[in-house]
Structures are given as C-alpha cells and as structure tokens.
Amino acid sequence: MKCPVCGDDCVSDAFEIINTMETIFAPCPRCRGRRLDKKVPPPDYTPPSPCTCKKRFIDDIFAHIYRIGVEEGEVVGTEPLKEIGTPLIHPGMVLSEAPYLPPRSLVLLTDLFSQKTAERIVAEIPEVRGVVQDTHITPGIVSPDTMETPKTHILLAGCDVRANIFNTQVGPIVIYKQTSTMHIEFPRPVNPKILAVDRKVFTKKPKTFVDACCGPGTLGIVAARLGVPHIIFNDAWYAAAFWTAYNLKVNHAYLGIDDVEIRESYQAMAENPVRREPYLIATTRGGLAVEVYQGDYSLLTPHIPEKGVLTVIDLFDKASRDMVEEVITRWKADNKGDVFIP
C-alpha cells in the first residue's frame, strides 16, 4: 500500500504483517548478536554489518547509531548507550526476547541528533526507517476545552509510519500511525482497554459501536473484529481521523470491508488540523458499515442512531473520577444507549 507520508510502499496489509509476526524478529542460525550493557557507553568495538539474512541484533544497531553520533560531534562518548533514544520497532508487538531487526524496522525517537545526523543515520543504517525528534510532549492530544492545535514531535529523516499489532479475543489487528503526530503506545500482553471493549460488546451485543475519541481507531476496529456491524469513529485531530480510515483499509480482510473511501489526502486534512463540527472523512462499502468523522465528540448526536448503541469514550487524560462522571453524565443527556470509559 502507498504510504501517505513518504509515498513509498512502506505500509503492508494486516494479513501480510500478521503472517510474518512469528519469525520477523528471530535470528537465523548464523546471526551473532552481542548483548551490551545499556547503562554505560558501548565498548570499543566495530559494530558488525547485518547478517546474510539481512537482520542485525538491536544492541549492535544502537552501537552503530552511537558511533555516527560521536563522529558527528553530537554524542560526547560518555553517555550511556540507552541515551541514544527510544527504539520503536515495526511492527510493534509483545516480544519475549530482544529483537534481531530486518531492514527498515526501527523508528528512533531521540532528542540528541540534528537533521543532518538523522539523515546520515537513515542513509547508513539499513534497519532504521526514520528518526523523530522527541519534543518531550504527548503528540496529537486535543483538549476538549480549548480545541487548540496540539503539539507534535518532528520527523527529521526517513519515514516514521509504523504499526502495532494488538491481540483481541478473536485474533490480532494491525494499527498504523505516524509516530511524530500521534501518541505512542506499546503493545502489552494484557490490554485492559481492549478487554473492556470485548466484555461490553459480548454482553450488550450492540448494533452500532461509537468510538468517540478514536485515536488511530484501535477500539472501534476491535469492536468491528468482534462482529459489531456498524461503527462510528470520531476524533478532533486530523491525523487520528485519517489513520483510523487508513487502518480500516489495512485490516479490511478481517473486517469484511470491500472498499474504504477516504475523502481527502493526509496533506489536505492537515490544513484543518482540529475541527469542531463533525466532518465526514471516510465511509466503507461491504459487510461493515463505517463512518469516520473529524470533530468534537460532544457534537456527534445527530449522527448517532436511536437504538442498539454502545459508546466508548477513551479520554487521554482521565485524571479525576469527577471528570469521568461528568463526561458520562453529559453524554447520557444527549445520546441514547450504553456508554463506558475503558
């Protein structure tokens, strides 16, 4: 599939990704990874080139990045290896062992490097897919009170689109997003939000599932995977609405979707980064009915059916119990059906 960020074919169908998940990060018999202590600088050795199977152990790749940083004068040489940055592997999944990475399977989130060094890292290290400048904020979170355009990280070089694989009770789903524009999640062996959706869908058997603050679409896609025939997605942030629509395409075979119509390009949507009045950005054809809106979830009421509705409101910051109760009370005043916060 064509990548909306780099235009290359760096995005795969969910079926293809799920089929490779058992072996993608496993070493071949000839792979020789060197485990390094991340709390100290790397030892004085020349990190090896990738194995003939094209994979390389993650610590050797980090040592290679470190070396480029030293050569460019952006790493002094006394920093511990782990200070190079946070490795975000593609596809992200629950791992029991440190990975041997194939080409273009690592996005590096870092605050150490200039654009020039980032470009050199992408050019010289085949496993690196992209380098993202960590601005130490949570990207893409729109406050429902202010509706201000949220802050993001900055893509320095390469492409920062990557996927996570999440398990549901009926099989895995694949969720892509752009690292710099969306908040980072790590797949865990047990995902309480996905379990909460499973439990509610199983007991309430809704006809329509509303994912009111959908992010990249994870919870609504879980509901679709569990067999709910109609899903309404919404998020005020353009990147969230776009990646939701895109992820419906990625997972189409698992969801009974024939076709997803996305009405605007990612770049065109970026012109209106935050919308208040819900704006329809995508629909589907096939066995699953979907509408994806970009807007303020409190204005969704005219788009929601009267009967058989289950709504999830996944607030990023559910700081206080009072706030949660207020959100539920306000939703119930305007909309029919059951609602929960996962």
Check binding of 132 to Zn ion (CB under 5 A): no
> Do residues 69 and 75 make contact, with C-beta atoms less than 8 angstroms apart?
yes
Distances (CA, A) of 101 to 53, 62, 155, 188, 234: 10, 11, 21, 20, 35
**Using CB under 5 A, which of 21, 53, 165, 226 touches Zn ion?**
53
Restricting to residues 2-21, name those near Zn ion by CB under 5 A.
3, 5-6, 10
> Do residues 32 and 48 make contact, with C-beta atoms less than 8 angstroms apart?
yes
- Rounded distance, CA 209 to CA 339, Å? 10
Q: Which is nearer to Zn ion, 9 or 322 (CB)?
A: 9
Distances (CA, A) of 308 to 192, 210, 231, 258: 24, 11, 12, 24
Considering the complex, what minimum distance in angstroms separates the CB of residue 331 from Zn ion?
37
Considering the complex, what minimum distance in angstroms separates the CB of residue 46 from Zn ion?
18
Identity (one letter) of the amino acid at 28?
A: C
Check binding of 161 to Zn ion (CB under 5 A): yes
Considering the complex, what minimum distance in angstroms separates the CB of residue 42 from Zn ion?
21
Distances (CA, A) of 312 to 32, 198, 329: 46, 12, 13
Q: Which is nearer to Zn ion, 122 or 173 (CB)?
A: 122
Near Zn ion by CB under 5 A, which window of 85-93, 160-168, 174-182, 255-263?
A: 160-168
Q: What is the 3-state secondary structure (H, E, C) of 127-141?
A: CEEEEEECCCCCCCC
**Using CB under 5 A, which of 19, 20, 26, 28 touches Zn ion?**
28
Q: Is 44 helix (H, G, I), strand (E, B) or coil?
A: coil
Q: How many residues bind Zn ion (CB under 5 A)?
A: 11
Q: Which is nearer to Zn ion, 48 or 144 (CB)?
A: 48
Near Zn ion by CB under 5 A, which window of 50-58, 116-124, 286-294, 322-330?
A: 50-58
**Using CB under 5 A, which of 18, 24, 51, 309 touches Zn ion?**
51
Check binding of 48 to Zn ion (CB under 5 A): no
Check binding of 173 to Zn ion (CB under 5 A): no
Q: Which residues of 306-339 are buried (b: 16+ CB within 10 A; e: fewer)?
A: eebbbbbbbbeeeeeeeeeeebeeebeeebebeb
- Rounded distance, CA 3 to CA 9, Å? 6
Q: Which is nearer to Zn ion, 100 or 209 (CB)?
A: 100
**Contact residues: Zn ion, CB under 5 A:** 3, 5-6, 10, 28, 30-31, 51, 53, 159, 161
